[in-house]
Structure 1
Amino acid sequence: MHQNTRQRLINNFPRSSAQHLPNTSNANGSSNLRRVGYIEYDMSRMLGESVKTFVYVGYVVEKSLESIVDKKKVAVKKIVCGSAEDCQKNLQEVKILLNCDEHENIVKYYKTETDQDFNVYIAMELCLGTLQQWMEGNIPTIQPENVNPVQLLKQTTKGVAYLHGKRDAIIHRDLKPDNILLKLVGGKVCVKIADFGISRVLPHERTSLTIKTYSGTRGWKSPEILNAHSSPPGNLRAHPRMTRATDIFSLGCVFYYVLSGGRHPFDQNGNSPNPELRDPNILRDRKNTKIEHFSPRIGGYIRLLEQMIDKAPQQRPSAAEILSSPLFWGHDKELNFLVHISNLMQENKSPVIQWCKNQIEEDHSNNEDEFLPGLELNNVGWMNRTCEALDFYFMYESPRTYDEFLTKDLIRAIRNMGTHYETLSPSVKASVGSLPGKFMAFWNNRFPFLVQTVWNVCKVLITDPDFDSVLMFYQTG
């Protein structure tokens, strides 16, 4: 939609448009179908509900020049307001949707109507269900085995990055699995962020907003939102500030929930969810994050998840930074990255490369035991973490020698085996698997922190013009 048209719609938004078409209780012969203006909704087909909000399957009614009525199937959100003032407050959601629904990961807005009782009706894109419903196995048309959860999170983060990257940023304030919708587009699952009812616009000249209302959903609110509840009501300077990082905390909880198979990072016992304890645990920073909640590869990114749910907003990464993480890479990019860094470490003798070498050894060899017991180098060489066939290969067949206590040699071994894969013996190929997927899965399962550690350390290279070749590994994509 043209920007001027959108602005005109915002400025001249109808306060009540129910006069366009009669309000019928028996439209199209169904006693359950209600019409308000150009919106119809089916009372018998409720998709969800919360306090004063109900979502139904419905239609947007359009009249053509030939007076033929056309209908578009939509989701209709009915907000029970009760007063003109509340009605105007709830129309804020529509204004926000009008300014952000062009992104593929934001639910599309179609139309709004109000009735004589000040209820608001918002017609929007109809989806198959929520992320939570999918996690619970309640969307039969989307089978879990056909969906990569990491890609769902990538799409969600893209939507958040879009909201946060607008000139006047939008802070959603209520990110949770129930507000992340799923839809099939061209046979592929597409994420749609929905429910902007309590969202706020952050003007471009500001970096934060005062938190005046205790809004959001229990268990998914950031600590700064929870702290606002205990701040002196008359002293706004004492109130915590709301920033883009407020959304990142909630997004981190969503990441943990999806990647761990349904656990919440602030449940007291990860296997016994208790939503009532989550807010107190968030306020006290009592995380229940454990690497055994994840597959080996995902476990290597537990530090990213913990950064996202850090109690201090300034310590949380931005949505754009999250998108650039190797968490979202394919196996081919992981291998190309390690090959590229290994080449730099062998061929370049500059001080910054030497610093990277030293830092990789320190960071990777000294991972805390509670994060990755028995899987990193510690006091056992990395060759002993591989398999019998590779142990034999490194001892008798490899044309190159490696120090099994140096991470840089582990990276070099991966580089050499990947680059000269065709020269490997059949037994070694059978052990490490085919390039690039099974090959990288072999190494990721044994050294989950490796790619993330190297990526974090070598981030320093992107500020040096002599290392432009590494930029492609740090760009959002």
Structure 2
Amino acid sequence: MALLEAGEHVTGGSYVVERLLGRGSFSEVYRVRHTVLGRLAMKVLRKVGTLDRTHELLGEAVLLSRLGHPNVVRVFDAGTVTTAAGERGWFTMEYVAGGNLDDVRTAHTAGPLPVADTVEILRQLCAGLAAAHGEDPPIVHRDLTPWNVLVGQDGRGIRVRIGDFGLARRAQPGLTGGEGTLAFMAPEALRYGAGSSTAADVYSVGVLAYLLLTDVLPHRDLAHTVYGAERREPPVAPSRFNRAVDAALDDLVLRALDPDPARRPQDAAAFAADLAQWREAA
């Protein structure tokens, strides 16, 4: 059962629920209309216990608001709302009509996306992520997947926005955390739940890059992912699946997927610099 119903007026009547957009383990996302701001997306948290826990989960809204970057989803308001399951935390963010990166990828039925479009998506993704990594201490996302990268259009073409910083944490020495989506998690994050770092986020971007360029994941042996991550066969070069990928782009993506975090670009800004160098040489 959905937490909110279409047509329902919530938070004192300032928002009208239009429809459910999606549901995950931790939240449901609705398209809503605000009396002044117009159409927005509202994320309602599904699993909430104490009021303190609600405030902790709503920290995603605080992180997103502080960044203020064009490639990070903007957050407008936050609070609690009475739902069919009881009081739940919520926040509203900009609504992106184009859908997520997986929608864009699967809608392109003629094979992988064009290489130029893929690199532009990665460039914008790295730009938004670099804003988070550039904080002191850095903010790490920890769950970059095709489903929480939103892709729309503006007057200049593709516009990418990173959402779902719900697993984001300030990077601290010794910080651990096993949350995330297995196929997109760095090997060090899979072992013993450790490895929250900017380099681990770069690995996730590398998985996204590989998927966009090839339509397959770099590692499909998820049954052995957690306990055998360090012993997996290295992924084959993306150019084996897509002849439009050149050797330099192969190298860039495979370095981001290096199982040793010390050999990867250390943060999104470094990966963005690699992408810029490739574009200049292409």
TM range (shorter): 0.7 to 0.9
SS of equivalent to 1:83: coil
The 3 A distance-change label for structure 1 pair 320 and 132 is same
Unaligned residue ranges in structure 2 (runs of 5+): none
Does 1 or 2 have the higher relative contact order (CA < 8 Å, sep 6+)? Answer: 2
The 3 A distance-change label for structure 1 pair 201 and 297 is same
The 3 A distance-change label for structure 1 pair 182 and 82 is same
Partner of 2:105: 135
What is the aligned counterpart of 1:216 among 167, 171, 180? 180
Which structure's residues are more often strand, by fraction?
2
- Aligned: 1:106 with 2:72: yes
Report the CA distance between 1:57 and its aligned residue.
Answer: 0.7
CA contact (8 A) 1:56 1:77 kept: yes
CA contact (8 A) 2:141 2:169 kept: yes
SS of equivalent to 2:191: helix
- Aligned: 1:263 with 2:221: no
Measured in 2, the distance between the counterparts of 1:75 and 1:138 equals: 25
Tell me the alpha carbon deviations over residues 13-42 of structure 1, each in whole angstroms, 9 at most, x when there is no partner.
Answer: xxxxxxxxxxxx99xxxx633412444322
- Aligned: 1:309 with 2:257: yes
Measured in 1, the distance between the counterparts of 2:118 and 2:150 equals: 13
- The residue identity in structure 2 corresponding to 1:133 is D
Partner of 1:58: 32
Tell me the alpha carbon deviations over residues 294-332 of structure 1, each in whole angstroms, 9 at most, x when there is no partner.
Answer: 3344343222222211112111113222222256654xx
- Aligned: 1:294 with 2:242: yes
SS of equivalent to 1:173: coil
Tell me the alpha carbon deviations over residues 271-302 of structure 1, each in whole angstroms, 9 at most, x when there is no partner.
Answer: xxxx5455456343333323312334434322
- Aligned: 1:41 with 2:36: no
Tell me the alpha carbon deviations over residues 225-283 of structure 1, each in whole angstroms, 9 at most, x when there is no partner.
Answer: 21124xxxxxxxxxx443211111111111111122x2110125xxxxxx545545634
CA contact (8 A) 1:176 1:250 kept: yes
What is the aligned counterpart of 2:271 among 322, 328, 348? 322
Within 5 Å, which residues of 2 pair with 1:60-139?
A: 60-61=34-35, 70-84=36-50, 85-100=52-67, 102-116=68-82, 117-127=86-96, 128-137=98-107
Within 5 Å, which residues of 2 pair with 1:68-467?
A: 70-84=36-50, 85-100=52-67, 102-116=68-82, 117-127=86-96, 128-137=98-107, 148-186=117-155, 188-202=157-171, 208-211=173-176, 213-229=177-193, 240-260=194-214, 262-268=215-221, 276=223, 278-279=225-226, 282-290=229-237, 291-318=239-266, 319-325=268-274, 329-330=278-279, 333-334=280-281
Measured in 2, the distance between the counterparts of 1:78 and 1:284 equals: 39
- The residue identity in structure 2 corresponding to 1:104 is P
Measured in 2, the distance between the counterparts of 1:328 and 1:152 equals: 16
Measured in 1, the distance between the counterparts of 2:278 and 2:64 equals: 31
Unaligned residue ranges in structure 1 (runs of 5+): 1-24, 62-69, 230-239, 269-274, 335-439, 441-477
Measured in 2, the distance between the counterparts of 1:103 and 1:153 equals: 15
The 3 A distance-change label for structure 1 pair 258 and 328 is farther
In the comparison of the two structures, how many residue pairs are matched? 268
Measured in 2, the distance between the counterparts of 1:254 and 1:89 equals: 28
The 3 A distance-change label for structure 1 pair 301 and 105 is same
Measured in 1, the distance between the counterparts of 2:91 and 2:179 equals: 21
Which structure's residues are more often helix, by fraction?
1
Measured in 2, the distance between the counterparts of 1:179 and 1:328 equals: 27
CA contact (8 A) 1:60 1:123 kept: no
SS of equivalent to 2:32: strand
Report the CA distance between 1:114 and its aligned residue.
Answer: 0.3
Report the CA distance between 1:189 and its aligned residue.
Answer: 1.3
- Normalised TM-score (structure 1): 0.52
Tell me the alpha carbon deviations over residues 353-396 of structure 1, each in whole angstroms, 9 at most, x when there is no partner.
Answer: xxxxxxxxxxxxxxxxxxxxxxxxxxxxxxxxxxxxxxxxxxxx
Report the CA distance between 1:168 and its aligned residue.
Answer: 2.9
The 3 A distance-change label for structure 1 pair 33 and 327 is same
Measured in 1, the distance between the counterparts of 2:228 and 2:192 equals: 16
Measured in 2, the distance between the counterparts of 1:317 and 1:147 equals: 21
- Normalised TM-score (structure 2): 0.84
Report the CA distance between 1:89 and its aligned residue.
Answer: 2.2
Which structure has the larger Rg over C-alpha atoms?
A: 1
Q: Out of 83-92 and 125-134, give the one that drifted further.
A: 83-92
CA contact (8 A) 1:183 1:190 kept: yes
Measured in 2, the distance between the counterparts of 1:295 and 1:224 equals: 31
Report the CA distance between 1:145 and its aligned residue.
Answer: 6.9
The 3 A distance-change label for structure 1 pair 152 and 49 is same
The 3 A distance-change label for structure 1 pair 328 and 124 is farther
Q: CA RMSD of the aligned region, Å?
A: 2.7
Measured in 2, the distance between the counterparts of 1:281 and 1:327 equals: 34
Report the CA distance between 1:194 and its aligned residue.
Answer: 0.3
CA contact (8 A) 1:223 1:311 kept: yes
- The residue identity in structure 1 corresponding to 2:201 is D
CA contact (8 A) 1:301 1:327 kept: no
